[in-house]
Amino acid sequence: MEENPDWNESNVFEILPESYKAHLTSFRPYLRGYNAILRLNITNKIEAEDWLKDFSEKSLTSYRVDRTFPENTPKVLFKKEYRCLHNSKPGAQKIKGPNAKNNACRAKLTITIKQRGMKRSKDKYLKDFPCEVILRYIHNHPIDGKGALKQKRPGKEVEEDALELFSKGHSPTSAYEKFKDNLKEQHGDEYEQIVEDTSQCPTQQWFYSLYYNTYKRKHLDTSDTLDDADGGETNDKDDPDDDSNSLTE
């Protein structure tokens, strides 16, 4: 693979979260990116997941779990391998060409937290920097424009706001519109920029998915539990897609 002298070690630190200390132990530039190995002062799974979230936000890249490994083994406390969100990994299905959701991007990263109690280890970073991140930062798609922003996943806070709208009687459609109205009120002149970022303003399809796969399923499970306890029956709810039955404020 051809090297690119324009890539250097400073490019790595530009996209790293400042919440944890980092040592760059290996770096090799290529034409469209680089491979790097980092050691971080991360000591547990929660910190690792928080770091990945911060890294995704700062680097304008998103990742999904590609491979899991056994946890709490004698040598490894936590380990997961992630691939770029632009690689949907369709398996046997053939893709006619790249699209916004799947560019077959080969960028990936692996997070490993080593057990610090290994007495015979010669790892000089083990005591203070037990976390190793292997970063293959070679994306085959734009990562600094609107296309990248439209692929970012909404965070937990956004999901909670949407669920609260559902609990107030909103359908997926009206919740989506109300959510955007709230953003416009909160951000004013910055609204047009905010709505381009799906981590802050999810798509209408995302609202439908959250409603049917999370909110409605949980609501029905709760109703079934109450029915079993009371021995009674429940009436069918109004169609959530009928906005005439939903709140408008």
- Given a cut of 70, is residue 10 above it in pLDDT? yes
- Given a cut of 90, is residue 27 above it in pLDDT? yes
Q: Is residue 110 part of a domain?
A: yes
Q: Is residue 47 part of a domain?
A: yes
The residue type found at 78 is F
Q: Is residue 149 part of a domain?
A: no
pTM: 0.58
Structural domains of the chain, count: 2
Lowest mean pLDDT among 151-155, 156-160, 197-201, 207-211: 151-155
Helices (H), 21-96: 45-59
pLDDT tens across 55-70, in order?
988 888 888 999 999 9
- Given a cut of 90, is residue 74 above it in pLDDT? yes
Question: How large is the average pLDDT for residues 215-235?
Answer: 59
Domain of residue 205 covers 156-245
Question: How large is the average pLDDT for residues 228-240?
Answer: 48
Q: Is residue 3 part of a domain?
A: no
What per-residue confidence (pLDDT) applies to 227?
52
- Rounded distance between C-alpha atoms, residue 29 and residue 156, angstroms: 35
What per-residue confidence (pLDDT) applies to 92?
36
Q: Is residue 150 part of a domain?
A: no
When the pLDDT of each residue in the chain is averaged and rounded to a whole number, the result is 81
Are residues 133 and 15 part of one domain?
yes
- Rounded distance between C-alpha atoms, residue 218 and residue 35, angstroms: 43
Task: Pick the more confident residue, 135 or 106.
Answer: 135
33: left (phi over 0), alpha (psi -120 to 50) or beta: left
pLDDT band, residue 126 (cuts 50/70/90): very high
Are residues 176 and 133 part of one domain?
no
Among residues of the chain, what percentage have pLDDT more than 90? 45
What per-residue confidence (pLDDT) applies to 150?
53
